Amino acid sequence: MPIHHPYTHDVVIAGAGPVGLLLACELRLAGVSVVVLEQAANPRSPLKGLPFGMRGLSAPTLEALDRRDLLNAVEAAQRSNQSTGAAKAASHWMQTPRRPAGHFAGIQFFHEQVDTARWPYRLPGSADVNLAVDMQSLETVLAERATAMGAEIWRGARVEGLEQSDEGVTVQVGGESLHGRWLVGCDGGRSIVRKAGGFAFVGTDPEFTGYSVEVELADPDALIPGRTYTATGMYTYARPGVIAMVDFDGGAAHRTQPLTLDHVQAVLRRVSGVDVTIVALKLAATWTDRAFQATEYRRARVLLAGDAAHIHSPLGGQGLNLGIGDAMNLGWKLAATIRGEAPAALLDSYAAERLPEGARILDWSRAQVALMRPTPSTRALEAVIRDLIATGDGATYFAEKVWNVSLRYDLGSNHPLVGRSVPDFAFSGGPRTGERLRDGKALLLDFASGAPLQSFAHRWQGRVSYVAREPEDRLGLSAVLVRPDGVVVWVSEIAGDDEGLPRAALRWIGEP
- φ, ψ of residue 131 to 5 degrees: the values are -155, 135
Question: Over the range 424-451, which residues count as b (16 or more CB within 10 Å of their CB) and which as e?
Answer: bbbbeeeebbbebbeebbbbbbbbbebe
Contact 473, 462 (CB under 8 A): no
pLDDT of residue 127: 66
Q: Is residue 475 part of a domain?
A: yes
For position 1, what pLDDT does the model report? Answer: 40
Amino acid at 200: A
Cα dihedral sign, 9-61-350-196: negative
164: phi then psi, degrees, rounded to nearest 5: -95, 155
Q: What contacts 77, CB < 8 A, 6 or more positions away?
A: 133, 134, 137, 138, 140, 141
CATH number of the domain that residue 284 is part of: 3.30.70.2450
CATH number for the domain spanning 486: value is: 3.40.30.120
Angle, CA of 247, 250 and 252, to the nearest 5° = 85
User: 217 with 164, same domain?
Assistant: no
Q: How many domains does the chain have?
A: 3
Q: Is 285 helix (H, G, I), strand (E, B) or coil?
A: strand
504: in domain: yes
Angle at 188 between CA 192 and CA 358, to 5 degrees: 115
Q: Would you state the pLDDT for residue 92?
A: 46
Say how far residue 275 (Cα) sits from the centre of its chain. Answer: 39
Residue type, 375: T
Q: Which domain holds residue 439?
A: 433-508
Cα separation, 488 vs 342, whole angstroms: 18
What angle (nearest 5°) sits at the alpha carbon of residue 397, between those of residues 369 and 404?
80
Nearest C-alpha neighbor of 23 from the set 136, 153, 146: 146
The rounded Cα 181 to chain-centroid distance in angstroms is 26
229 and 379 Cβ atoms separated by less than 8 Å: yes
Among the candidates 370, 385, 403, a domain finishes at 370
Would 39 be classed as within a structural domain? yes
Residues 144 and 79 in one domain: yes
Does residue 357 share a domain with residue 305? yes
Do 492 and 360 fall within a single domain?
no
Looking at the fold, whether 59 and 136 belong to one and the same domain comes out as yes
Whether 360 and 225 map to the same domain: the answer is no
d(CA 448, CA 467): 10
What is the model's pLDDT at position 278?
Answer: 97
pLDDT, position 125: 67
Whether 164 and 277 map to the same domain: the answer is: no
Residues 233 and 365 reside in one and the same domain:
no
Residues in the chain: 512
Sheet with 201-204, edge to edge strand ranges: 201-204, 291-294, 310-311
Domain-located, residue 381: no
Among 370, 397, 421, identify where a domain stops.
370
Residue 114 lies in a domain: no
488 vs 504: CA distance, rounded Å: 10
Q: Do 85 and 196 belong together in one domain?
A: yes
pLDDT value at position 451?
A: 80
Q: Would residue 413 count as lying in a domain?
A: no
What pLDDT was estimated at residue 93? 45
**Does residue 418 belong to any structural domain of this protein?**
no
Task: Give the closest residue to 75 by CA, choosing from 148, 152, 133.
Answer: 133
Whether residue 317 sits in one domain with residue 446? no
Rounded to whole angstroms, the Cα distance separating 178 from 269 reads 50
Query: What whole-number distance in Å separates Cα of residue 184 and Cα of residue 193?
Result: 8
At residue 269, the pLDDT reads 97
Residue 419: inside a domain: no
Do 281 and 314 reside in the same domain of the chain?
no
Q: Which CATH number fits the domain that encloses residue 166?
A: 3.50.50.60
Distance CA(18)–CA(16), nearest Å, equals 7
List phi, psi (to 5°) of 493: -110, 5
Going residue by residue through the chain, which has 512 residues, state the pLDDT in tens, using 9 for 90 and above.
444 444 589 999 999 999 999 999 999 999 999 999 999 998 888 877 877 778 889 999 999 999 999 999 998 887 776 555 444 444 544 455 678 888 999 899 999 999 999 998 888 766 676 788 898 999 999 999 999 999 999 999 999 999 999 999 999 998 889 999 999 999 999 999 999 999 999 999 999 999 999 999 999 999 999 889 898 999 999 999 999 999 999 999 998 888 999 999 999 999 999 999 999 999 999 999 999 999 999 999 999 999 999 999 987 778 899 999 999 999 999 999 999 999 989 999 999 999 999 999 999 999 999 999 999 999 999 999 999 999 999 999 999 999 999 899 999 999 999 999 999 999 988 899 999 999 999 999 999 887 889 999 899 988 999 999 999 999 999 999 999 999 999 999 998 888 999 999 999 999 88
Give the three-class secondary structure for 155: strand
* The last residue of a domain, from among 370, 385, 414: 370
pTM of the model: 0.94
Is 164 found in the same domain as 311? yes
pLDDT of residue 4: 42
